[in-house]
Chain A
Amino acid sequence: MRHHLVILLSAALVNNFTLVMFLGLCSFLGVTKKVATAVRLGIADTFVLVITSIAATVLNKWVLGEAPYLRVIAFIVVIASMVQITEMVIKKFSPKLFRELGIYLPLITTNCAILALALFQTNRGYGFLEGLTFSIGAGAGLTIALSLMASLRERLELADVPAVARGASMVLFIASFLSMAFMGFAGLLTGG
């Protein structure tokens, strides 16, 4: 149990996928203008992460044992089809949510966090349950980073930012400070 808790906290906070490992930055910089959208994207990301983790476990166990050099190719194909399936399921059961997510849904395929999760899980030799915990932690971490960034950017709209720094560079500076804050979590697992 303690082992799983460590994996969960490590993925969500200490080694936060976005702010510490630099994964999934496209959506982190591009889709964080509004809190509501950011949170929804985070949840969709988590969903795909969990399915990908299960699929990666299955692939590693029964398909890729003999051919590790096919790993990247197999993973990316599985991720692309998982995103497609997620899209169809959401469209069928909740057309409203589907409209709200719009273009961000298919773009999850090129979110490097998803592929990275499958690769890390393989490299660390996680089993089914460990992989599941890892993916939930990573998803929570992405959602936390996205919503923090979005809330800061909403506040930033009202702030008096010099014209040259407006836009990308200001967002990057904020990300830098957020990342610095997350470095503080490093003591969480080693010290405690």
Chain B
Amino acid sequence: MRCHAMPDVPGRRKPTASEDFIRGLWKENPTFVQMLGMCPTMAITNSVKNALAMGLATLVVQFGSNVFVSMFRKRIPNEVRISTYILIIATFVQIVDIGTEAIVPETHRALGAFIPLIVANCLLLGRQEAFAAVNTVWRSALDGLGMGLGFTFGLTTVGTVREILGSGSWLGFRVMPASFEPWAIMNMPPGGFFAFGLVLLSFAWWKDRQKRRAALDAAITAPPLARPILEEASV
């Protein structure tokens, strides 16, 4: 829940290209793990379509600004780096804003002010500061793609919960039986907070279960001397 991602700890081994890409998708997922860019996560996830569009718009900005920042990383003076990053991000946001308005005007209207507000998404600035500013163009491009897709994945997950419960459909297709009464509250502001809380709760529960199961397995396969762990794990 911090607004600026910590810089990567310099590891002994250089990460591979696939690791750069995968990181944003799962291990450092912007939505579930880093909890960055919360405003769009709750504001425009009332349908899967909007969530996807918002995720893709952010992906384009993240990718573009990552590439640009890493390209000029040796020329950007340290004192004005934050404002430079913000300017680069703002330029891409403007491009996306005009682009979506021309290509998909309906979606553009649905997303409203949240497209220009991508500028203020801390995920973008955090990645420039933590990654693109100190890594090569190729690695930053992969990181941008991974983070953007990870963000899209996060938004779509929340959007799925909200659309299924709130409208009984997924991406416009009806998935719930006709007798299902849609929960109108899920389409309203409280539903945004609630659905995301629900998703986070299930993740925490799942992680907790995995941890306990691992502890239990370790205890069962361990020699009898280590048995006390078993009791602890089953509490």
Contact = CB atoms under 8 A, between A and B. Distances in A.
Contacts of A169: 197-198, 200-201, 204
Contact of A165 (B4, B90, B194, B204): B204
A25 B38 contact: yes
Nearest to A74: B90
B45 to A, nearest CB: 10
DSSP class of B's interface residues: helix, strand, loop or mixed? Answer: helix
Interface residues of B, number: 44
Interface stretch (A34-42, A43-51, A151-159, A175-183): A175-183
B194 A172 contact: yes
Contact of B190 (A111, A112, A170, A180): A180
Contacts, number: 128
B33 to A, nearest CB: 11
B38 A29 contact: yes
Contacts of B122: 26, 110
B188 interface: yes
A173 B193 contact: yes
Contacts of B28: none
Given A72-B93, A110-B120, A120-B113, A164 B194 contact: no
Contact of A22 (B1, B39, B93, B205): B39
Interface residues of A, number: 47
B200 A112 contact: no
A168 B83 contact: no
B193 A176 contact: yes
A22 B42 contact: yes
B161 to A, nearest CB: 12
Contacts of A163: 208
Contacts of A172: 193-194, 196-197, 200
A123 B38 CA distance: 24
B38 A26 contact: yes
Contacts of A183: 188-190
Nearest to A29: B1
Nearest to B198: A169
Nearest to A107: B3
B97 interface: yes
B136 interface: no
Nearest to A22: B43
B113 A119 contact: yes
B125 interface: yes
B164 interface: no
B189 A112 contact: no
Interface string B1-41: 11110000000000000000000000000000001101100
Given A21-B43, A169-B200, A73 B90 contact: yes
Nearest to B45: A22
Best-buried of A72, A80, A165 by chain B (most CB within 10 Å): A72
B140 to A, nearest CB: 20
B90 A175 contact: no
Nearest to A23: B39
15 contacts: A26-B3, A29-B1, A30-B1, A30-B2, A70-B94, A73-B90, A80-B83, A110-B121, A114-B120, A115-B116, A165-B204, A167-B204, A169-B197, A172-B194, A176-B194
